[in-house]
Amino acid sequence: MKFAKTIEEASAIIVGFPIDQGTENKGTKDAPIEIRKAFDNFYFSENAKESKIYDVSDVVEEENFEKTMEKIEEKISELVKYNKPILSIGGNHSITAPIVKAFSKEYDNFGIVFIDAHPDCQKNYFPFGDVVTKIVEMKIPIVMIGIRNWSKDEYNFLIENKIPFLQAKDFTIEKAIELAKKNLPNKVYISFDIDFVDAAFAPGTGCIEPGGISSRNSLNLLYIIGRNFDIIGFDLVEINPSKDINNLTTNLAAKIIFEVASNF
């Protein structure tokens, strides 16, 4: 991956959020540094495009969860002023809510493509477990892709709030794009939980869910979203290097970020 020396010359911005707060599963704070190491394994994107990325380094945890969330929102609010796509490396999924909140102050009309094995709308199930609840409260349109494990309360929440979703058992890239086109504006923010990918390809995560999507189809999905929408931001969350095997997950994460960046 090529890195720019200044934000001004960059085509996109990368920022790390090594955050463990908000969940009982610890270890995701180590993901940004390990994923950055894996960037060295990738040279030229599959779609034969090169992008220069500016890395603003990490925003570290504060002494409590609420202050950490405020700090994340402040950093994204600062970066979004440059009018460049922002790629965020988590950290757990709690980082998405303050990131989206910051984007909502700058963009009037955008939607969320939420790619995850879980709908993450379990009220009061740790802060990271109700990320979607917070997004719905912001009144930002959202579609969910890849769900394969939910609680009854979460299912009811999706139905009651009329949130469009595509389960993993019904997944095709064509169906995912159709769902997004039908329900979202042209500008989108993508939140990608690594457990969307089957654990055979990405074992380094806190919530192993059988029956996921292959790494190849995951990458192809992101390519095609990039062809059909204007991606304003992207986050990759829930990688836990301490649970990884042979760096499979951190290498895949670096590959995903590298290829998403080639859209810009």
Paired strand residues for 147: 167
- In the chain, where does DSSP find H-type helix? 31-38, 65-80, 96-106, 131-137, 152-160, 173-183, 215-228, 248-261
Q: Are 250 and 241 in contact (CB under 8 A)?
A: yes
- The whole-number pLDDT of residue 238 equals 95
Measured distance CA(4)–CA(68) in Å, rounded: 27
What is the mean predicted confidence (pLDDT) over 188-203? 98
* Tens-digit pLDDT profile for residues 79-92: 999 999 999 999 99
Q: Are 195 and 115 in contact (CB under 8 A)?
A: no
| Residue 141: Cβ within 10 Å count | 17
Residue 58: both structure tokens together: 């990490």
Q: DSSP per residue over 31-96, as a string?
A: HHHHHHHHGGG--S-TTS---EEEEEEE----SSHHHHHHHHHHHHHHHHTT-S-EEEEESSGGGH
| Residue 170: Cβ within 10 Å count | 10
Domains of the chain plus CATH, in order, are: 2-261 (3.40.800.10)
- The whole-number pLDDT of residue 24 equals 72
Measured distance CA(162)–CA(239) in Å, rounded: 29
Examine the pLDDT at 126 and tell me if it is beyond 90: no
Examine the pLDDT at 116 and tell me if it is beyond 80: yes
Paired strand residues for 237: 193
Examine the pLDDT at 128 and tell me if it is beyond 60: no
The mean pLDDT value of the chain amounts to 94
- If one compares 206 and 229, the residue with the highest pLDDT of the two is 229
- The whole-number pLDDT of residue 132 equals 92
Phi/psi-derived region of residue 91, left when phi > 0, alpha when psi is between -120 and 50, beta in every other case: left
Measured distance CA(120)–CA(29) in Å, rounded: 19
Q: Write down the pTM of the prediction.
A: 0.96
* Tens-digit pLDDT profile for residues 38-49: 999 998 889 888
Buried b (16+ CB within 10 A) or exposed e, 47-77: eeeebbbbbeebbebeeebeebbebbbebbb
Q: Which is nearest to 107 in space by CA: 70, 134, 138, 136? A: 138
- The whole-number pLDDT of residue 35 equals 97
* Tens-digit pLDDT profile for residues 137-170: 999 999 999 999 999 999 999 999 999 999 999 9
- The whole-number pLDDT of residue 228 equals 97
- The whole-number pLDDT of residue 125 equals 61
- The whole-number pLDDT of residue 242 equals 96
Q: Say what percent of the chain tops pLDDT 90.
A: 83
